[in-house]
Structure 1
Amino acid sequence: MTRVLHILDHSLPLHSGYTFRTRAILKSLQAAGVEIRGITGPRHVRGGPPIEEVDGLTFHRVPGTPSSLPGLREWREIAALRAGIERLAADWRPDILHAHSPALCGMAGLRAARRLGVPLVYEIRAFWEDAAVGNGTGSAGSLKYRLTRALEDRVVKGADAVFTISEGLRGDLVERGHDGGKLALSPNGVDLALFGEPPPRDVGLARQIGIGEGPVIGFIGSFYDYEGLDDAIAAMPMLRARHPDTQLLLVGGGPMEETLHAQAAASPARDAIIFTGRVPHSEVERYYSLVDVLAYPRKKSRLTDLVTPLKPLEAMAQRRIVAASDVGGHRELIEDGVTGLLFPPDDPAGIAEALARFIDEKYRWPAMREAGRCHVAENHDWARNIDRYRAVYQHLLESGSSATE
């Protein structure tokens, strides 16, 4: 049985899009007969035992190191994680190391793979320098931006195989001069076994939070600037001019929360904009049941053009209608007018017009729900998608590859 050690920034029991993708990958590989474990570095900030079992998965923890000057801190993190990988490998002896972005995990994996003489697979879920720009913690072209990009290039060059979650990321790497022959696609996916028939509308919850009969436009996720929720709020007065009973339901929280609350309070449509705050993951399905159209109004940027989000796929898996901005990451997931709706990014008037027309054409929604679910089943079900990993693992083991730095 092939043994694969997954090198991670953080993992369950923390909840994030990153940890949910990780869970789906590991559980699917496990079900397919691959022996897997995970190891997290100092950025897994949740306390816990050195070896932690979560949902039938085993995670090894490398404790944090004292903070220091930027740059030196990151190299210490890489060294600590590399040492942790080698300690674990002395006992468990993995056949392959599979590192997941950011590049700090990739570099730790690359150095450990060289010392252990095993292949390294590196998986890029986003370019973290662009993600930092998107969430307001970095700036394009800064020294940190360029160093992060250079580190990523070094890991990609040294790895034996590289996966990206989108064609946009893969194409960008090819443009940088990387060998397209070792760049494979592992698109975002869902575990369809977790999604049965969508639950009926939770009438009690609707009454409790003030949701009417609709139509209800909803967003469930993190409130980052790049998500474009300010554009959704700005579109509401124009949308209600066409459909006066429309409501906007915003479930979650994040850095933009205070700003969005203030914007909504000043809106002529303020009574139709409902914030719930963060809700327990176990309760999310109840809120999904209240939404007619899941909206993802991401702003146009390098991040949103190159990276495919997970939330629209989860919505389609639950037979929910999806409407999203026409950016590259969404175009890889949604066929406009077939599996969902695409509307112009950064354009509240355009969003309002597209959603108003969409509501006028509700007769199209049942077919769109089924088309979305079929698209996910055929192209984004982890039970199928993990065959891409298994094929690469097998090739690396048969060819005797090992990482080079």
Structure 2
Amino acid sequence: MLRVLHVLDHSLPLHSGYTFRTRAIMKAQQATGVDVRGITGIRQHQGGAATTRPGTAADRDEVDGLVFHRTPGEVSGPAGLREWREIAALARAIEQVCGEWRPDVLHAHSPALCGMAALRAGARLCLPVVYEIRAFWEDAAVGNGTGRAGSLRYRLTRGLENRVIAGADAIVTICAGLRDDLVARGVAPGRITLSPNGVDLSLFGAVAAPDPALAARLGLSAGDGTASGPVIGFIGSFYDYEGLDVLIDAMPGLIARQPGARLLLVGGGPMDRALRSQAAASPVADAIHFTGRVPHAEVERWYALMDIMAYPRKASRLTDLVTPLKPLEAMAQGKIVAASAVGGHAELIADGVNGVLFPPDSPAACASALAELAARRDDWDRLRDQGREHVRSHHDWSRNVSRYQAVYQTVLRAGNRQELPDAA
């Protein structure tokens, strides 16, 4: 049986898009007969990135039937030195796990700190390294408001990424935008495999029925439990690049055309306080509702209250290159998707086919798109069906996992190592 060790920034039980993708990959690989484990860096028990709960510093953790090893300890020092210490600590932990468990492949996932640690350990242990890029983290830092484009830190992060890309045996990216950027940097297209974001339909494909009592408590329905108008929804992290301020500014224009419309924002993050203040000052403040963060296990209850999921991401290098996961989850839940026409959304959504696209950074364009979509109720079933079919055909992890098997076969053959059996 082939063994694959996934090298990660953070994992379950922390909650983020990063951890949910990891879980889906590892579960799908388990189902094909691959023996998988994960190992996380020091940041796991320092709170991780974009998380909703504290981590654990346990040496080994089992979550949802998956085994994760933890890198113990802490690192300190000035920026730059601190990151090199993180890499060294993770590399040592990888070597320790490999001495006990003996994987055949190291599959490192961005950021480049994980990739560099895997390269160090792989070189010492003669193990092939697959490096998966989910985003360029220098661009993610800009999008999160923790970095500045073109700064020294930005350039150093990009340089480290390039070193890992050059040293890895194979490269995986989650979307065409990232792949095309790598090719423009000089990476041979044949070294890059595309493994798009996906949904585990065995867990996320059931559509829940709306809870009338919950809808009434939130002010989303009339007193008799019937809907008062279309509910526009967003579930996720409140980062500036998500454009939720644009969505709030769009609400007066939407309500002028659809008086019963309501906006339900589920989640939290760095922009939470500013968004709540903006909503309170809106002339349609009574139509905008915040829930705070909700347990991931209950997220279907909140999807069930929403008619149209809105993703008004702002135009930026990050949003043009990277495809998000949330629109796919919404399609799997049978929700209609309206999104800004940034590059990452355009890879997932064909305007008028499985969703609607509108110009980014424009409250007026957002309001107009939502109002027109709300008025076309006779078209909703078609959009829902097309969205679900798009996920089933192109983004179901039970199908997409075979892409990794082909990559593993290639790197193992190149090193004359054990080959992966064909997928079940």
TM-score range, shorter chain: over 0.9
Q: Do residues 151 (structure 1) and 160 (structure 2) align?
A: yes
Superposition deviation, residue 367 in structure 1 = 0.9
CA contact (8 A) 2:133 2:173 kept: yes
Q: Do residues 28 (structure 1) and 28 (structure 2) align?
A: yes
Larger mean CA deviation between 57-66 and 305-314 belongs to 57-66
Identify which of 234, 239, 253 aligns with 1:219. 234
Larger mean CA deviation between 393-402 and 380-389 belongs to 393-402
State the match for 1:107 in structure 2.
Answer: 116
SS in 1 for 2:69: strand
Superposition deviation, residue 199 in structure 1 = 1.2
Moved over 4 A (4+): none
Identify which of 178, 186, 198 aligns with 2:207. 198
Identify which of 258, 269, 274 aligns with 1:259. 274
Structure 1: runs of 5+ lacking an equivalent: none
State the match for 2:38 in structure 1.
Answer: 38
Superposition deviation, residue 66 in structure 1 = 3.0
Whichever residue aligns with residue 98 of structure 1, its letter is H
SS in 2 for 1:43: helix
Q: Do residues 50 (structure 1) and 65 (structure 2) align?
A: no
Give the 5 Å matches for 1:330-349.
Answer: 330-349=345-364
Superposition deviation, residue 256 in structure 1 = 0.5
Whichever residue aligns with residue 317 of structure 2, its letter is R
Superposition deviation, residue 195 in structure 1 = 2.9
State the match for 1:352 in structure 2.
Answer: 367
Separation of aligned partners in 2, 1:327 and 1:94: 39
State the match for 1:366 in structure 2.
Answer: 381
Separation of aligned partners in 2, 1:362 and 1:64: 56
Q: Do residues 164 (structure 1) and 173 (structure 2) align?
A: yes
Give the 5 Å matches for 1:3-402.
Answer: 3-45=3-45, 46-212=55-221, 213=227, 214-400=229-415
CA contact (8 A) 2:267 2:291 kept: yes
Larger mean CA deviation between 39-48 and 317-326 belongs to 39-48
Whichever residue aligns with residue 271 of structure 1, its letter is D
Whichever residue aligns with residue 377 of structure 1, its letter is R
CA contact (8 A) 2:334 2:385 kept: yes
Structure 2: runs of 5+ lacking an equivalent: 46-54, 222-226, 418-424
Q: Give the aligned CA root-mean-square deviation in angstroms.
A: 1.0
Larger mean CA deviation between 167-176 and 281-290 belongs to 281-290
Whichever residue aligns with residue 35 of structure 1, its letter is D
Separation of aligned partners in 1, 2:259 and 2:170: 53
Larger mean CA deviation between 304-313 and 47-56 belongs to 47-56
CA contact (8 A) 1:99 1:120 kept: yes
SS in 1 for 2:338: strand
Superposition deviation, residue 118 in structure 1 = 1.3
Separation of aligned partners in 1, 2:100 and 2:346: 45
Superposition deviation, residue 63 in structure 1 = 1.4
Separation of aligned partners in 2, 1:103 and 1:70: 15
Separation of aligned partners in 2, 1:55 and 1:30: 12
CA contact (8 A) 1:299 1:346 kept: yes
Superposition deviation, residue 48 in structure 1 = 4.2
* TM-score, scaled relative to structure 2: 0.93
Separation of aligned partners in 1, 2:206 and 2:198: 18
SS in 1 for 2:43: coil
Q: How many residues align?
A: 402
Superposition deviation, residue 261 in structure 1 = 0.9
CA contact (8 A) 2:144 2:240 kept: yes
Superposition deviation, residue 285 in structure 1 = 1.2
Whichever residue aligns with residue 49 of structure 1, its letter is A
SS in 1 for 2:357: strand
Separation of aligned partners in 2, 1:245 and 1:162: 49
Superposition deviation, residue 98 in structure 1 = 0.3
CA contact (8 A) 1:236 1:269 kept: yes
Separation of aligned partners in 2, 1:48 and 1:153: 30
SS in 2 for 1:44: helix
Superposition deviation, residue 352 in structure 1 = 0.7
SS in 1 for 2:391: helix
CA contact (8 A) 1:3 1:34 kept: yes
Superposition deviation, residue 208 in structure 1 = 1.3
Separation of aligned partners in 2, 1:47 and 1:218: 32
More relative contact order in 1 or in 2 (CA 8 Å, sep 6+)? 1
* TM-score, scaled relative to structure 1: 0.98
SS in 2 for 1:38: strand
Separation of aligned partners in 2, 1:142 and 1:343: 32
SS in 1 for 2:315: coil
Whichever residue aligns with residue 160 of structure 2, its letter is L
Superposition deviation, residue 49 in structure 1 = 2.2
CA contact (8 A) 1:169 1:307 kept: yes
SS in 1 for 2:361: coil
**Structure 1 residues 102-132: Cα deviation after superposition (integer angstroms, max 9, x where no partner):** 0000000011111111111000000000000
Superposition deviation, residue 65 in structure 1 = 2.1
Q: Residue 141 and residue 3 in structure 1: after superposition, are their counterparts in 2 closer, same or farther (change >3 A)?
A: same
**Structure 1 residues 225-278: Cα deviation after superposition (integer angstroms, max 9, x where no partner):** 000000000000011110111111111111111111111111111110011111
